[in-house]
């Protein structure tokens, strides 16, 4: 089994910490990012708790061997993960979501071949109906388990007897959840799907032409929608205007590029995402990430040196 605790001060690093999940996270709110993942897993079950202080745009692919069930401890929106609900994530190549600030999610994973009944309408987002009191009890149990691990000293290994106790408790609680739960009808999210499609297509079009990102008029023309529909879709789904959100996506792309190759020319990295005015780029980068791009590069170079340095004997 594996027990892991990760505290990250960068959304890019945060996305890499969940083993087995292919994720790309982009920070869409100004501020210094702080995120945490508590991960408890065995071959058959897994519980992880993910939280962060800032809103993120996330693209992910889940491990195909498991079903993944989400229940929020703190999630301000009711569209995707409703309060006091369990949502079964769909089977898909890529899942996109936008998190609100100060989110806190519990995710349970169970082997697909041991719970085949969860495969009904597997390509859709579904709700698992669980008695309210039962769900409350299980969620509080999972919160207590993860809180306990968060409060332990990081350099203090978890004794094997405690690891086994955690897994047994987790397996029993998941059995109670699935014994009492049944798949309900797909939530009525027709409008949500339309808004989601608009935002995702705009994102895709921007990624196709990073050096010359399309204007809002071009996006409206491509999607055959009005400016008002575009504005409403973004404001409802991501909490920002199209200009603000799509600019944040481009700034995050520059940041990932700098973290991957901090020795490249800053002007080239910015231009690759359509930022040709250096003072404007640096100002917006600093506004979003609360540091200049030069600091990002310096930190990445320092991290690279530390990872390649030989230990002193």
pLDDT digits (tens, 9 = 90+) for 133-184: 999 999 999 999 999 999 988 778 888 898 889 999 999 999 999 987 888 8
How far apart, in whole angstroms, are the C-alpha atoms of residue 58 and residue 247? 15
How far apart, in whole angstroms, are the C-alpha atoms of residue 158 and residue 155? 9
- 182-183 and 126-129: which strand pairing? antiparallel
Distances from the Cα of 117 to the Cα of 34, 43, 78, 170, 183, angstroms: 37, 20, 26, 20, 9
Dihedral over alpha carbons 26, 29, 32, 37 (to 10 degrees):
-50
Q: pLDDT category, 243, cuts 50, 70, 90?
A: very high
Reading the block at residue 183, the tokens are 């798949």
For the chain, the 3-state helix, strand and coil shares in percent, each to the nearest 5, are 45, 20, 35
Q: pLDDT category, 313, cuts 50, 70, 90?
A: very low
Q: What is the pTM of this model?
A: 0.87
Arithmetic mean of pLDDT over the chain: 90
Q: What is the pLDDT of residues 12-65, one digit of tens each?
A: 999 999 988 999 999 999 999 999 999 999 988 999 999 999 999 999 999 999
Q: pLDDT category, 185, cuts 50, 70, 90?
A: low
For residue 79, report the phi and psi dihedrals to the nearest 5 degrees: -70, -50
Instruction: Name the percent of the chain lying above pLDDT 90.
Output: 66
End-to-end alpha carbon distance in the chain: 32
Distances from the Cα of 18 to the Cα of 5, 26, 44, 90, angstroms: 10, 15, 17, 18
Residue 78, pLDDT score: 67
């Amino acid at each position: 089994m594996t027990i892991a605790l990760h505290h990250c001060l960068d959304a890019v690093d945060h996305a890499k910490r969940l083993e087995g999940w292919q994720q790309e996270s982009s920070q869409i709110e100004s501020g210094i990012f702080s995120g945490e993942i508590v991960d408890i897993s065995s071959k058959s079950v897994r519980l992880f708790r993910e939280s962060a202080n800032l809103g993120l745009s996330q693209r992910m692919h889940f491990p195909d061997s498991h079903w993944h069930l989400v229940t929020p401890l703190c999630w301000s929106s009711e569209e995707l993960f409703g309060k006091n609900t369990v949502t079964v994530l769909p089977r898909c190549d890529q899942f996109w979501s936008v998190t609100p600030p100060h989110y806190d999610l519990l995710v349970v994973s169970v082997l697909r071949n041991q719970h085949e009944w969860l495969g009904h309408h597997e390509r859709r987002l579904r709700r698992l109906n669980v008695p309210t009191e039962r769900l409350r009890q299980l969620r509080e149990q999972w919160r207590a388990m993860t809180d306990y691990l968060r409060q332990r000293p990081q350099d203090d290994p978890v004794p094997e007897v405690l690891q086994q106790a955690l897994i047994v408790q987790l397996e029993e609680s998941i059995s109670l959840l699935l014994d009492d739960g049944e798949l309900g009808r797909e939530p009525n999210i027709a409008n949500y799907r339309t808004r989601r499609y608009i935002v995702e297509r705009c994102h895709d079009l921007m990624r196709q032409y990073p050096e010359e990102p399309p204007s809002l008029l071009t996006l409206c023309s491509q999607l055959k929608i009005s400016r008002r529909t575009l504005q409403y879709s973004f404001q409802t789904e991501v909490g920002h205007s199209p200009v603000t959100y799509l600019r944040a996506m481009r700034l995050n792309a520059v940041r990932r590029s700098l973290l991957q190759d901090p020795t490249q020319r800053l002007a080239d990295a910015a231009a690759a995402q359509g930022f040709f005015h250096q003072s404007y780029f640096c100002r917006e980068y600093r506004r979003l990430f609360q540091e200049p791009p030069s600091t990002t590069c310096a930190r990445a170079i320092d991290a690279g040196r530390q990872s390649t340095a030989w230990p002193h004997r």
